[in-house]
Amino acid sequence: MNENKNVENLNELTVEERELGTNPIGKLIPLYCLPLIIGSFIVGFQLVVDCIILATGVSIEALATIGILFPYFLLMGALYDFMGPGGAALITLELGKGNFAKARKACANAIVYCFVICAVISILSYIFMESIIWGLGASEEIYPEAVTFLNIFLAFFPFMTLGVVVYFCARASGKPLMSAIFNIIPPILAMGIEYYVVFSLGFGIEASAICAIVALCPNLFMLLWFLFGKSNMHLRPSDFQINWGIIRKISVLGFPSCTLQLFYAIVMVFAANILADLGASVEHYAAYSIIDAYIYYFLTFIVFGFGLGIQPIISFNYTRSHERTFRTLKITYIAGIITLVIFMGFLYIGMNGVTGLLAALNETPGYEAYLGKAIGLYIWGIPILTITTTTAFFLQAAERAWPATLIIFVRAFVFTIPLLYIMTGLKGIDAIWVAFPMAEVLSAIFALIILRWQIKKIKEKGEVERIAEESAVIFGEKVKETGAE
């Protein structure tokens, strides 16, 4: 009975939508993950270029400012990971059931929801800007640069965030390649513009804000496909009417990926304040900025590329085939860890060149060697992060939001923040680089324990539903036979 229903629904889908339920998993993962990973790599590389341009063309204070204000980037990431994957998961779940009207409403409500929330945050941030900057752990040297950056960044904050939400909705609607084009070309353009305005026009930290705007806002052009394209996802004016039931579902489904960014923003605030309490110099702030706001974020973009890439596959197949769903998770674990190990290998091989370039404006003796040591201690936990984030994204796509959120909460507040205080208290300021990878190991172990428990529940639920459907068929046939008699 369930198979017949699935076949009927598949016949109503477009070619792109039908492929999610029929193509081999080994083919779907590259199709959905590779464009996102390439796009994530370009975006991450853009961050590294931004770091190099600030380090060589502006000042060490500008570089340190980005590290202090990086929670704002994470807040933006938390918001678009709240409405984006939440809306995308709901879109693919409804498409998998053949509910096209609900899928369209989910997309439209995610767009409206995002813009309203981000506009409110921008306004409040302008009003309380001074208190926010000091609260993030800024020093006297950094404060003027922070004001300059935020004045530009906040004006476009709602549009940048909305652009990423539109990107997620387009991917979920069966357009991974179109989404990849808009995810790849603008960051490349942004790098060229930032280089030009810094080295030719003499711009300062405002160039970094302009770079972020150019990289993210062009995603809004994909709205034209939703508004004027001929597909099951062509949005009508009525779709934009707020539906609080849909908003609630988007919030529940998007909460785990949102907390992944939001909780890490909180971790960064704690870490910055620990540095301040321990009397960190501008050089320490700059090292923290380079490692946490650039290198770490660059590598986590690749991790997120795998986790977010498989979400449409998981959500679509979750109600159809558990075998396809679990196979997707296994392949993603392996591919993600191998990819991150390769990237780390390249980073270790080219460590001298990387640290020499990033320490260009710092004349403190031994700083380049210190930076290399700190990077080496910090990044070995990144491949392990693949297990934690992929597990959370899998559970999110499988409509198991609270276990996914629990994994992310425990990572931030049970492991990372306590270890930051414990390690720096025992070993001093430099132990901050060791605390992060230690927390990743403990978080991955906890995530696998939660995953094993949830997979058991998913299989039990599937067996109960199968028995219920078979019983309905049997009793239905008995009723017909009784009626015939």
* pLDDT tens-digit map of 154-202: 999 889 888 888 888 887 777 777 877 887 888 888 889 999 999 988 8
In a domain, 479, yes or no: no
pLDDT at residue 5 in the model? 45
pLDDT of residue 411: 92
Is pLDDT above 70 for 13? no
Structural domain range at position 84: 2-473
Residue 462, pLDDT score: 59
Residue 196 lies in a domain: yes
Query: Does 467 map to a domain?
Result: yes
Question: Residue 481 falls within a domain, yes or no?
Answer: no
Query: Quick check: 234 pLDDT over 60?
Result: yes
| In a domain? residue 306 | yes
Average pLDDT over residues 229-251: 83
Alpha carbons 48 and 358: distance in angstroms, whole number: 9
Q: Is residue 234 classed exposed, middle or buried when 0-12, 13-18 and 19+ CB atoms within 10 A define those classes?
A: middle
pTM: 0.68
With respect to residue 480, please indicate whether it lies within any of the assigned structural domains. Answer: no
Give the model's pLDDT for residue 18.
58
At residue 80, the pLDDT reads: 74
> In the predicted model, is pLDDT for residue 328 greater than 70?
yes
Residue 422 lies in a domain: yes
Q: Is the pLDDT of residue 348 over 80?
A: no
CB 248 within 8 A of CB 87: no
Number of domains in the chain: 1
Q: Is residue 370 in a domain?
A: yes
Q: Give me the pLDDT at residue 443, please.
A: 94
Q: How confident is the model at residue 120 (pLDDT cuts 50, 70, 90)?
A: very high
Dist. CA 177–CA 24, nearest whole Å: 18
